[in-house]
A and B are shown apart, each in its own frame.
Chain A
Amino acid sequence: MSLPFLDKLAEISFLVALSPLVTGWIKKLKARLQCRRGPGLLQPYRDLSKLFRKGRVISRDTTFVFRAVPPLVLGATVAATALVPVLAARPGSGGEGSILGDAILLLGLLALARFVLALGALDAGGAFGGMGAAREMTVGALAEPAMGLVIFGVALGHGTTDLAGLTAERTSLGAGIATAGTLLGLLAALVVLVAETGRIPFDNPDTHLELTMMHEGMILEHSGPGLGCIVLATHLKQALLMALVADLFFPFGIAREPGGVALLLGAAAFAAKAIALAALLALVESTAAKVRFFHIPSLLFASVALGLLSLIVRAL
C-alpha cells in the first residue's frame, strides 16, 4: 500500500467519524435559534450506537433487494467520499493514472445511492415508502443537473474534472478566485446543498410521521443496523457535499504538500468551513418555511438558471 493511499484512507475515516458531529451541530444551533437547549452535540453518535446494537425487523413481503439497500447506500456514499478532497488536495493522489475517479463518478455514486434507497422503499411496498421514493426521485431529477452544472461550470475554467487537481488549482488562485462566475456558481451550489441534504424548504429532516416527508418516508421500513447504515450515510453525504462546496468555492487552508502539520491545518480549515456552512443551513432552516412540493421545481430551476449563468459568464 502506497502512502497516498493511506492518506486517502485517513481522510475518508476523518469525514466518516466527524459527519455525525456536523448534524449534531446543526441540530444544536437550530434548537438555540428556537430558544431551546436542544440535544447534546454527541446525540447523533448515541443514536447511531443504539441503532447498531438493536435487532432488525424485516417485513415478510420484502425481497433480497431490501436487505442489500443499507450496505449499498453506505458503500456508495463512502466511495464518493474518496473522490472529494477534504483535508489534502494533491493532484498526484488523484490525478492522471490514479485509481480514483473524477467529478462525474462522484455524481454517479451519489445518484446510485439515491436510486438504491428509492428501490428499497418501493420493495417494502409501504405507502409512505412509495410516496417518499417518488418525491425523492422528482427532486433528484432536478437537483442532479443543477449540481452537475455547478461542478462543470467550475471545471470549465480549469480544463479538468478531477476534483483533487481542480481544488489545487482553485487554491493557487488566491484572491483571484472571487470572480463573477464563482459568485454565481456559489449561489447555485448553496441552493443545491439545501436540496441535497434534504432540509427546509425542500424536505423536513426532523419529521418522522408526516405525509410530506421524503427521505424519512423512504427509510421508514428499515430498522436496527440497517437503519444505522442509512442514517450514517445521510450524515456522510451532508458533510461530503459541504466539503465539495468548500473545495470548489473557498478551498483555502486545504493541505497541498505532505506532512502532519499541513494535514492538521487542513483539518482546522475544514472544521471552520463546515461550522460556517452548517450555521447557514441551520439559519435557513429556522427562518424559511417548507414550500409546497409543487413549488420545489421552481426553486431548483432558479439554481439551474444560476448555474447556467455562471457557465455563460465563464465561457463567453
Chain B
Amino acid sequence: MITPMLAQASLLADPSALAAATRAVNLLGALMLVSAFFILAAKRLDHAIYASAAQSVLLALAGAVLADATGVRHLWVIAAITFVLKGLILPRLLMFIVARLRIDPAIEPTPLVRAPLFLATAMVLLAFHVTEPLSGLKQAVTGDALPYGISLTLVGIFIMIARKKAITQMVGLYTSENGIFFTGMAVSHGMPLFVEIGVVLDVALGMLVMAILLFRVRSTIDVVDIDDLHHLRG
C-alpha cells in the first residue's frame, strides 16, 4: 500500500492537475451538500431516495478523483463499491420496499422541527466554523473536504431527527455515512481498505435488517410510522 507521504510527493509534480483535483473535490462536496438539503426539503419519499442515490454517485466520483490525484489505489476499490452498492443497489432496494409495502410516498414534516433548512444551514456554518483552526488540513487535493464531510454528517443525523418515516431514517443514515466517508477519503486518503469495506457491509446489513423488520412490523401492526413508538412505555 502506498503511504500518504509518497502519494503527496507524487502529487507535487503537477500543480495545475493538483489545483483541478482540489477544485473538483470542493465542487463535489458542495453538490453532496445540496443533495443533503434536497433530501431534507423533499416532500416525497422517491425524491429523497433518488437524491440519496445521486449523493452516493457523487461520493464515488470524489473517490475516483482522489484516487487519480493521489495514486492511492484502494480508493478506486472504495469508489467502485460505493457506486455499485450505495448508488445502484440500495436505492433500488429502498424503492422496492416503498412499492411493496405500499408506503404513503408523502413525507410529513415533524411538527416540532421548524425551518429545517435554516437549522441545517446553521449546522453547516458550525462545521465550517469549528474546522477553521484546522485550516492546515486545507491542503492540496483535500480542499474543504473536512468541513463538507462534517456538515454532511450533521445534516444526515438531522434528517434522521426531523423526518419520521423508517425509510427517511435510512436515507439520513446514508447521508451522514457518506459524510464520514468523504472526510475519511479526502483528509486521510481513506481508512484501511478492510475497515471501509466493513463499514459499507454494515450499512448494507443495516438496510437488510431494516427491510426485514419493516416487513414484519407491517404484517403485524400495519403501520411503519416510528412516531407511534413514542406511545410505548415500559
- Interface residues of A, Cβ cutoff 8 Å to B: 176, 178-181, 183-184, 187, 298, 301-302, 305-306, 308-309, 312-313, 316
Contact = CB atoms under 8 A, between A and B. Distances in A.
A316 B118 contact: no
Nearest to A176: B23
Given A309-B124, A312-B124, A301 B147 contact: no
B89 interface: no
Contacts of A305: 37, 117-118, 120-121
Cβ-closest 4 pairs across A and B: A180-B30, A316-B128, A305-B117, A180-B26
B34 A306 contact: yes
B37 A316 contact: no
A313 B37 contact: no
Nearest to A187: B34
A178 B27 contact: yes
A140 to B, nearest CB: 20
Contacts of A306: 34, 37
Contacts of B31: 183
A313 B147 CA distance: 9
B26 A179 contact: yes
Contacts of B37: 302, 305-306, 309
Interface string B28-40: 0111011001000
Interface in B2-58: 23, 26-27, 29-31, 33-34, 37, 41
27 contacts: A178-B27, A179-B26, A179-B27, A180-B29, A181-B30, A183-B30, A183-B31, A298-B41, A301-B115, A301-B118, A302-B37, A302-B41, A302-B117, A305-B118, A305-B121, A308-B121, A308-B125, A309-B30, A309-B37, A312-B121, A312-B124, A312-B128, A313-B30, A313-B144, A316-B129, A316-B132, A316-B147
A38 B89 CA distance: 44
Interface string B126-143: 001100100000000000
Given A187-B34, A305-B37, A313-B30, 15 more contacts: A176-B23, A180-B26, A180-B144, A184-B33, A184-B34, A298-B41, A301-B117, A301-B118, A305-B118, A309-B30, A309-B33, A312-B124, A312-B128, A313-B128, A316-B147
Interface string B201-220: 00000000000000000000
Contacts of A312: 121, 124-125, 128
Contacts of B118: 301, 305
B125 to A, nearest CB: 5
B30 to A, nearest CB: 4
A189 to B, nearest CB: 14
A316 B120 CA distance: 17
A133 to B, nearest CB: 27
Contacts, number: 52
B41 A180 contact: no
Interface string B59-70: 000000000000
Contacts of A308: 121, 125
Nearest to B128: A316
A24 B27 CA distance: 35
Contacts of A176: 23
A250 B117 CA distance: 27
Nearest to A299: B41
Contacts of B121: 305, 308-309, 312
A308 B123 CA distance: 12
A221 to B, nearest CB: 37
Contact of A183 (B27, B117, B120): B27
B221 to A, nearest CB: 32
Contacts of A179: 23, 26-27
Nearest to A316: B128
Contacts of A309: 30, 33, 37, 121, 124
A198 to B, nearest CB: 22
Nearest to B143: A180
A308 B33 CA distance: 13
A32 B125 CA distance: 44
A135 B103 CA distance: 36
A134 to B, nearest CB: 23
A57 B182 CA distance: 64
B89 to A, nearest CB: 29
Contacts of A187: 34
A305 B155 CA distance: 13
Contacts of A316: 125, 128-129, 132, 147
A187 B26 CA distance: 16
A309 B41 CA distance: 15
Nearest to A315: B128
